[in-house]
Structure formats: C-alpha cells, structure tokens
Amino acid sequence: MDKQSSALAVTVAGVTFRNPVIAASGTFGFGREYAKVFDLSGLGGIALKGMTLKSRSGNPSPRVAETPSGMLNCIGLQNPGVEYFLKNELPFLQKQGTRLISNIAGDAPEDYAALAARLDGEPVDMLELNISCPNVKTGGMAFGVTCEGAAEVTRAVRAATKKPLCVKLSPNVTDIASIAQAVEDAGADALSLINTLLGMRIDIRTRRPILSNNVGGLSGPAVFPVALRCVWQVAKAVRIPVIGMGGIATWEDAVQMFLAGASAVQVGTATFTDPYAMLAIRDGLADYLETEHIAHISELTGQIRPN
C-alpha cells in the first residue's frame, strides 16, 4: 500500500490530514531541526510548540530528567511569542506541505482569547487550546482540572476565533470524561489527550528534586496505558473527534489508540530516541490496513470490544 494513500487520510473538525500521524506539541519545536532529517510533508500535521502572546524564557535548568520508560520535563512553555512566530517561523512552516496546529496558552482566559484572535486570520489550520500544561505557575493546568475552568477558557477562545478548536486535556484529574463534556458544550470542535502526568524524581545524594521546578510532566511509553484508558473513556462520552496521544512509540500503539476511539494520533517523546518514529508509525499503519484488508483507517476508530 502507498504509505501516503487515501486510506490513511482523516478529517478532524473539518481539517483533512494526509495521514493521521501528527507531531505532538512541545517535542517538535517549529519543525526546523526535523526538516533537516526528513520531508515534513510525510507527516499528517505538526502541533507546534506551545505559544503565548509574549515571549517566555521558561523554567531554569535542569528541566529534563530521564525515567524508566519515559522522561520528565518542566520546560515551562518557553517560546518566542506570537509576533516572532508569525514573522520568523510561519513562513517556513507554510512551505512544508503539512497541516499546522497552533498550540496556545496563557495566564488568563483573556490571554487565550487575544492569542486566538491574533491567529484567526493567519494560515494555521487548527488551534489546540493548552489548558493542561503542568509546568507553569499560572494558567496552564489550573484551567484544565475543573469543568468550570476548562469551559470558561474554551468559551472565551471560541468567541474569539472561527478556526477549528481542539482542546488538550490533562490526565491529572479525577474525571476526565466530565471535563471533556464541559469543553464540548463550551464550543470545542475536537479534543486531544493526554498531556503529561505530573511526576517527580529526587537526587538521593543532594536530597533535592532533580528538576528545578521540583515536579514535571511525565511522558513516554510509561504513560501509554493511562493515555489509552483516558481516550477510551472520553471517546465514549463526547460526540466530537478525539486525537489520542501519550506514550505512542509504535504503530501497534497507534492501532490501540484508534480502537479506543481516536480519529488521529500525536507522537512526541518517541521522536527523541528515533527521529523517524512517526514515519515508521505511519508506514506500519498502512501495512496493517493492507494485511487486515481494512479499506480505511477510520474503520478502526472506536472498534474496541470491551469485556
């Protein structure tokens, strides 16, 4: 099967992706480094580095730590700000032949709304509302852990933009399905999940946390079972499409995400150990469809057979 065949094309919130494998925000920057390694048009899309109205320096080092089957980070939304992005990064990205998802963040609902309004007339295909980052002191995950907070930010952004709106959910909650329903009711067109789990490591010699922020976001294969569970619960609870992510490292992982209810997937930490991981996942999905005599990837979505 052609690895870029129509059997892999998916439409999420009115946006058609050439294939369902999307680079996850925060792990791919603005694509420049990976563009030196492979043709970015081979991806379904790129969820761009988390962006705010003004530039942010992020948290001080150390802000990355390895863990068994994963990693912790407390980058803290380091980014150059929206105006720099529009002037210096977007022209490059427009030439890459792939869909662009702007991941947006802020300290207050008004910040999110202003950023969404600024991007409304720009050539990005979708907004991803980051209400689930665990690595910033204000904003971020604070909005994503209650139905009221998540809905408030979603409503503010929905009123500020006509672009398709995807809301990225936190797993650091007791009932992720209820939060998903709240943002759906507030105007979200799609959901992406999960963001990182809150974790910690301690240096036993100094007795200090390894990360400067004390805690950080856990990602990688270790979180995959949690992510899969969350996608399954959310997909059953909402009518809008779900983009699954969290520890996906192989095409088999991606198939599980589709079966749990995802319409597309995002891949992040896996690219740090293998920059070609997303292309391998894309090709593995194509081969799986051919082997299983499945006409289109969407036929897998939600086809889990619960016990």
pLDDT digits (tens, 9 = 90+) for 188-242: 999 999 999 999 999 999 999 999 999 999 999 999 999 999 999 999 999 999 9
- Mean pLDDT computed over 253-258: 98
Helices (H) and strands (E) in the chain, counts: 10, 16
Q: Does 196 belong to an annotated binding site?
A: yes
Mean pLDDT (whole number) for 245-258: 98
Cis? peptide before 297, omega within 30° of 0: no
The answer to whether 163 is annotated as binding is no
Residue-wise pLDDT for 76-105, tens only, equals: 999 999 999 999 999 999 999 999 999 999
* For range 103-117, the mean pLDDT: 95
The SS3 call for residue 235 is helix
pLDDT (mean) for 241-258: 98
**How far are the Cα atoms of 116, 251, 256, 265 from residue 5, in angstroms, in the given order?**
33, 16, 21, 17
Q: Which helix (H) or strand (E) holds 23?
A: strand 21-23
Percent helix, strand and coil across the chain, each rounded to 5? 35, 20, 45
Tens digit of pLDDT for each residue in 175-184?
999 999 999 9
Is 73 annotated as ligand-binding?
Answer: yes
pLDDT at 250: 98
Q: What residues contact 257, with CB distance under 8 A and at least 6 apart? A: 227, 228, 231, 244, 245, 248, 265
Give catalytic residues, as residue numbers: 133
What structural domains and CATH numbers belong to the chain?
A: 1-298 (3.20.20.70)
Q: In whole numbers, what is the pLDDT of the chain averaged over residues?
A: 95
Check whether 246 is labelled as a binding-site residue.
yes
Copy the structure tokens of residue 14: 């009115």
Is residue 130 marked as binding?
Answer: yes
Flag whether 194 is marked binding.
yes
* Residue 4 confidence (pLDDT): 62
97 annotated to a ligand binding site = no
d(CA 135, CA 154): 20
Question: Known binder of ligand: residue 45?
Answer: no
Distance CA 61, CA 85 (A): 24
Of the CA atoms within 13 Å of residue 260, those in its CB half-sphere come to 25
